[in-house]
């Protein structure tokens, strides 16, 4: 690969990582809007749940659909367009004091998030030349954005109130313009999926097992994000600061785990790494439930670390198992990994009210156990293709290409 192509690939990767962070800011922003809707519009719990489900459920359903669409034809314009819609939906949520309007724009924001993921994952795989480490950085970008969403909302609306929601669109506007420029002038996506696969067939059985693991991991991480702070406060008889510190530890070590997963996969193979990570997660989560005293923070760090190791590997494995349907695979492994766990969180809340927080976290053990059993039967993909990026000044939003990227 020439120096120019290498520099182009690096620049494209950086823009896609940053763009993923910007896009997922708006998925993380929805829960952070809740206190402002309650304080200024006096929405009740039913209304708030409706807004959350509008973003979560529609996004969960739409992401595989957008993936299937991009499998039929490359649609790179969905990347900046999805980002823009995600930002504009959140920006409009505070403008009109009408629940129906608010519900619609929040749902549109969720659709924007969904539209972004499948095609961006395809482009990221091309820009990183299929590197597991590169894809781990791309996945981390989404995690960082999701975590930054509440901070952005609080910083802006804490000063302006809901009237300031249009300011939340600024990152989306900037990200949209930069990504669009990249697509037009620099980035030539890999060849069409069917070309890249060249004779390879889809392994739906393996992809089904992988999807089980993806859903289980999502349930686990959403459950921990919802109840870990309260659990640690209860365990240590401490205040909210201690509980929030536990969430910070979980997120920080989760970021490390995401990056570590790519490096472990390069050294030991993806399937072996995924199997071991899910198995160790079972042990770490059991330790979290049983560990007394301040040492619980050590186990929180371990859960965050090993629980996040498989994240980016799920994405690339899915793309290789569905070699002719990369968009569908990305929509499931990258999109549902973020959103589907939110659908189970209310059920965990009912369990917590009926029993206790330790019982609820113990129930979460089912998720990594099932995931571990599912990935035990995963095969290592055969003939995985590693596309690369080639400079192309002619790529437009039509998805047409003047030439093929080398494989």
Neighbours of 104 (CB within 10 A): 15
Contact residues for 182 (Cβ-Cβ < 8 A; gap 6+): 11, 12, 15
pLDDT for 199:
58
- Residue found by looking up tokens 């600024």 in the block: 170
CA pair distance 109, 56, nearest whole angstrom: 10
Work out the average pLDDT over 53-70.
82
CA pair distance 203, 195, nearest whole angstrom: 17
Least confident of 22-26, 41-45, 146-150, 339-343: 339-343
Confidence grade of residue 193 (pLDDT, cut at 50, 70, 90): very low
| Whole-number Cα distances in Å, 364 to 124, 222, 285, 309, 348 | 32, 10, 8, 18, 9
pLDDT digit string, tens, across residues 30-50: 888 888 888 899 888 778 878
pLDDT for 44:
83
CA pair distance 230, 232, nearest whole angstrom: 6
Residues facing residue 391 across a β-bridge: 187
**Residue 391 clears pLDDT 50, i.e. is over it:** no
- Residue found by looking up tokens 């990258």 in the block: 334
**Residue 346 clears pLDDT 90, i.e. is over it:** no
- Structural contact between residues 361 and 227, judged by C-beta atoms closer than 8 angstroms: yes
The encoded tokens of residue 120 equal 């961006």
**Residue 227 clears pLDDT 70, i.e. is over it:** yes
The encoded tokens of residue 233 equal 């406060």
Closest CA to 222 of 67, 28, 10, 377: 28
> How much of the chain, in percent, has pLDDT values that exceed 90?
42
Confidence grade of residue 286 (pLDDT, cut at 50, 70, 90): very high
Least confident of 50-54, 202-206, 211-215, 326-330: 50-54
**Residue 26 clears pLDDT 60, i.e. is over it:** yes
Confidence grade of residue 204 (pLDDT, cut at 50, 70, 90): very high
Work out the average pLDDT over 306-320.
93
Choose between 269 and 344: higher pLDDT. Answer: 269
> How much of the chain, in percent, has pLDDT values that exceed 70?
86
| Whole-number Cα distances in Å, 287 to 332, 362, 378 | 30, 10, 27
Closest CA to 216 of 299, 310, 115: 310
Residues facing residue 79 across a β-bridge: none
3-state secondary structure 356-391: CHHHHHHHCCHHHHHHHHHHCCCCCCCCCCCCCCEE
Confidence grade of residue 400 (pLDDT, cut at 50, 70, 90): very low
The encoded tokens of residue 343 equal 């659908």
Choose between 350 and 371: higher pLDDT. Answer: 371
Handedness of CA 158, 163, 164, 169 (dihedral sign): positive
Highest mean pLDDT (candidates 259-268, 332-341, 377-386, 398-407): 259-268
pLDDT for 394:
34
Least confident of 186-195, 301-310, 315-324, 327-336: 186-195
| Whole-number Cα distances in Å, 221 to 211, 250, 254, 357, 367 | 15, 9, 10, 15, 10
pLDDT for 281:
97
Closest CA to 393 of 190, 182, 192: 182
Burial string for 20-52 (b: 16+ CB within 10 Å, else e) reads bbbbbbbbbbbbbbbebbeeeeebeeebbebbb
DSSP code for 188: E
pLDDT digit string, tens, across residues 129-157: 778 888 889 988 988 898 888 889 988 99
Give me the long-range contacts of 282-288 (CB less than 8 A, separation at least 24).
282/365, 282/368, 282/369, 282/372, 285/220, 285/361, 285/364, 285/365, 285/368, 286/365, 288/361
Mean pLDDT of the residues in the chain: 84
Choose between 338 and 393: higher pLDDT. Answer: 338
CA pair distance 120, 79, nearest whole angstrom: 6
Tell me the domains of the chain and their CATH numbers. 3-198+386-391 (1.20.1250.20), 204-375 (1.20.1250.20)
**Residue 203 clears pLDDT 90, i.e. is over it:** yes
**Residue 28 clears pLDDT 60, i.e. is over it:** yes
pTM for this structure? 0.78
């Amino acid at each position: 690969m020439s120096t120019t192509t290498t520099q182009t690939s690096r620049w494209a990767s950086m823009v896609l990582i940053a763009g993923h962070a910007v896009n997922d800011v708006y998925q993380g922003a929805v829960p952070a809007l809740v206190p402002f809707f309650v304080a200024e519009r006096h929405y009740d719990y039913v209304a708030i749940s409706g807004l959350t489900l509008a973003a979560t459920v529609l996004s969960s359903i739409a992401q595989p659909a957008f993936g299937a669409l991009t499998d039929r034809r490359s649609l790179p314009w969905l990347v900046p367009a999805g980002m823009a819609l995600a930002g504009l939906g959140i920006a409009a949520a505070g403008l009109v004091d009408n629940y129906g309007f608010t519900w619609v724009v929040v749902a549109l924001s969720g659709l924007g998030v969904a539209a972004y993921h499948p095609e961006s994952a395809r482009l990221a795989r091309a820009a990183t030349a299929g590197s597991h480490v590169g894809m781990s950085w791309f996945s981390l970008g989404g995690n960082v954005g999701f975590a930054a969403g509440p901070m952005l909302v609080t910083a802006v609306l804490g000063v302006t109130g809901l009237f300031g929601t249009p300011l939340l669109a600024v990152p989306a506007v900037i990200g949209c313009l930069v990504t669009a420029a990249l697509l037009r002038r620099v980035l030539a996506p890999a060849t069409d999926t069917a070309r890249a696969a060249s004779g390879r067939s889809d392994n739906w059985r393996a992809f089904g097992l992988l999807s089980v693991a993806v859903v289980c991991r999502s349930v686990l991480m959403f459950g921990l994000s919802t109840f870990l702070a309260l659990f640690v406060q209860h365990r240590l008889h401490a205040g909210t600061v201690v509980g929030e510190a536990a969430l910070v530890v979980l997120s920080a070590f989760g970021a490390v785990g995401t990056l570590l997963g790519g490096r472990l996969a390069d050294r030991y193979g993806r399937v072996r790494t995924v199997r071991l990570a899910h198995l160790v997660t079972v042990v770490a989560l059991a330790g979290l439930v049983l560990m007394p005293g301040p040492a619980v923070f050590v186990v929180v760090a371990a859960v965050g670390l090993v629980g996040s190791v498989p994240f980016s590997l799920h994405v690339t494995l899915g793309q290789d198992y569905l070699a002719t349907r990369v968009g569908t695979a990305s929509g499931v492994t990258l999109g549902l990994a973020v959103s589907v766990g939110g659908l189970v969180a209310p059920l965990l809340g009912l369990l917590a009210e009926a029993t206790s927080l330790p019982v609820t976290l113990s129930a979460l053990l089912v998720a990594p156990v099932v995931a571990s059993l599912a990935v035990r039967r995963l095969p290592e993909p055969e003939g995985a293709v590693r596309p690369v990026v080639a400079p192309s000044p002619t790529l437009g939003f039509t998805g047409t290409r003047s030439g093929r990227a080398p494989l």
